[in-house]
Structure 1
Amino acid sequence: MLSYSEWSDRQDSAAVTVDGHDLEVAYYDDGEGDPVIFLHGIPTNSYLWRNVIGSIAEERRVIVPDMLGYGNSSMRDEFDRSIRAQEEMLAALIAALDLGTVSLVGHDLGGGVALRYAVHNPDAVERLVLSNAVAYDSWPVQTITELGLPETVEDQSVGEVQEMLDGMFRQTLTADPDEAFLEGMKTPWNSEEGLTSLVRAAIATNTNHTTEIDPADITAETLLLWGADDEFQPIESAQRLQDDIDNASLTGLDDATHWVMEDRPEAYREELAAFLVG
């Protein structure tokens, strides 16, 4: 399994323009065939998917970007990091890589980005997977709201935020976490620039960006692959999405919290591969 530094070394980069800003998107790219894009949430990065993509890349091309302001993508303090802006990034990345029709897999905030893109581009999304995704008015959760207070940059040190993130992951995973996972999730924020970018990402969470869309407009075949024990985005939200999206199915994985792909990696891979590659 790749370490975070090895993952970073294998990333490519694409230039995109969002809201008039010229930015760089770092992304991991593997396999050939019809493209599948994996979208992470807050406060994670593309390394979240390291245990998931292998079997998919055997049959399809997988593209795993770092969101703007996250991971190894542009992180400077002058652009919007909201779901709306990340959707614009996604559209620009798809155009830059000349991908055409894609399948999307989104977790947390990345699920909200996938929701918006699938609503606005129904003919351009083949299949859609949402895992413990933000939707409707189910977010932001209290932890992210507090992290997004402007004074966090001044009142907390980089080390204190690293400790907070470490504690959050350890407390919410169902088993002892993989130390490589913890390193990968924390490393991008381990600087003053990283801390500021994380706070800006938290500030940018805007419930309007999911309440203003109607999931009923999604036409892609949809799998709601959910950690059933999630306190952040409970499975009731997935049930509501299932009711609203035609041709949507729900699979809840027991003994899995918000970080479902870490809690139940084998089961998650199996369900995902069955849906995306048959």
Structure 2
Amino acid sequence: RCLAFEMVGYGDSIPAGRGRDISVARQADYLLDWLDALEIERAVLVGHDLGGGVVQIAAVRDSHRCAGLVLTNSIAYDSWPIPSVRGLRAAGGVVERLPDSLFKLLIASFMVRGHDNLAVGRESGRMHARPYLEHGGAAALIRQIRSLDVRDTLAVQHDLPKLGVPARVVWGTADRFQKVGYGERLASDLATVLTRIEGGKHWTPEDHPDAISAAVNQVLLAV
């Protein structure tokens, strides 16, 4: 089975995150609880960006559950929050009051910057904006940003080499948000090679789904 976990407080689950801990570290607990509810004892964990941090932490916390790991343009170590996100957090009191018209422009700009396929980037911007606009607008984004804490990934960095599971790391080399050097470090710690997507930017699952699915299939064959 191929299943997608929606982080609590993100996407259409934004309402479920109100009044709850939606940090990356806590998301790992929610993910493991979700697997428990589905009675899944072993899984290949796949993650991008914040989700990549979530699956790293989940794999370390429950190594017997993790059958394999695929990371693509993921947060890791001290790679985050990125400067633009830190800026939004600093100005959070103003940003959270943005009207929807300006908020849509903010999301669209961020998404396009992270895509090497601009048509996909524009479509992605519209798709990502929708749940925000339906569930609190800019205030929902600022609530997410305020939950980000680099200590969550720093806490597990020394445990990654101990996982000993089949792994693949795939990275867009032109990513300005998560630099390729972090991908190289992850590949080294996970005892695998880095698959480079030359010219690829941040949103590799959307721009380069074939490369990501190939990595997932390679790990599945190795499990």
In the TM superposition, 1:102-141 aligns within 5 A as 102-141=43-82
Choose from 12, 24, 42 the match for 1:101: 42
1:234 correspondence with 2:179: yes
Pick closer, same or farther for the CA change 1:126–1:216 going to 2, 3 Å.
Answer: same
Quote the Cα distance in structure 1 between the aligned partners of 2:18 and 2:144. Answer: 10
* Contact 1:77/1:196 (8 A) holds in 2: no
Aligned residue number for residue 12 of structure 1:
none
Q: Shift of the alpha carbon at 1:77?
A: 2.6
In terms of fraction of residues, the more helix-rich structure is: 2
In the TM superposition, 1:1-278 aligns within 5 A as 61-75=1-15, 76-149=17-90, 150-178=92-120, 179-191=122-134, 193-213=136-156, 214=158, 215-245=160-190, 247-277=191-221
Instruction: Provide, for residues 77-112 of structure 1, a one-character-per-residue CA deviation record: whole Å limited to 9, x for no partner.
Output: 311111111011101101111111111100001000
Quote the Cα distance in structure 2 between the aligned partners of 1:261 and 1:141. Answer: 19
Instruction: Provide, for residues 105-142 of structure 1, a one-character-per-residue CA deviation record: whole Å limited to 9, x for no partner.
Output: 00001000111111121111111001111111110002
In terms of fraction of residues, the more strand-rich structure is: 1
Identity of aligned residues (%): 27
Q: Shift of the alpha carbon at 1:62?
A: 1.0
Quote the Cα distance in structure 2 between the aligned partners of 1:80 and 1:262. Answer: 28
Q: Which runs of 4+ in 1 moved over 4 A?
A: none
TM-score by length of 1: 0.72
Q: Shift of the alpha carbon at 1:270?
A: 3.1
The secondary structure found in structure 1 opposite 2:77 is coil
The secondary structure found in structure 2 opposite 1:229 is coil
Which consecutive residues of structure 1, in runs of 5 or more, have no partner in the other structure?
A: 1-60
Larger RCO, structures 1/2 (Cα 8 Å, 6+ apart): 2
* Contact 2:88/2:95 (8 A) holds in 1: no
* Contact 1:132/1:258 (8 A) holds in 2: yes
Aligned residue number for residue 56 of structure 1:
none
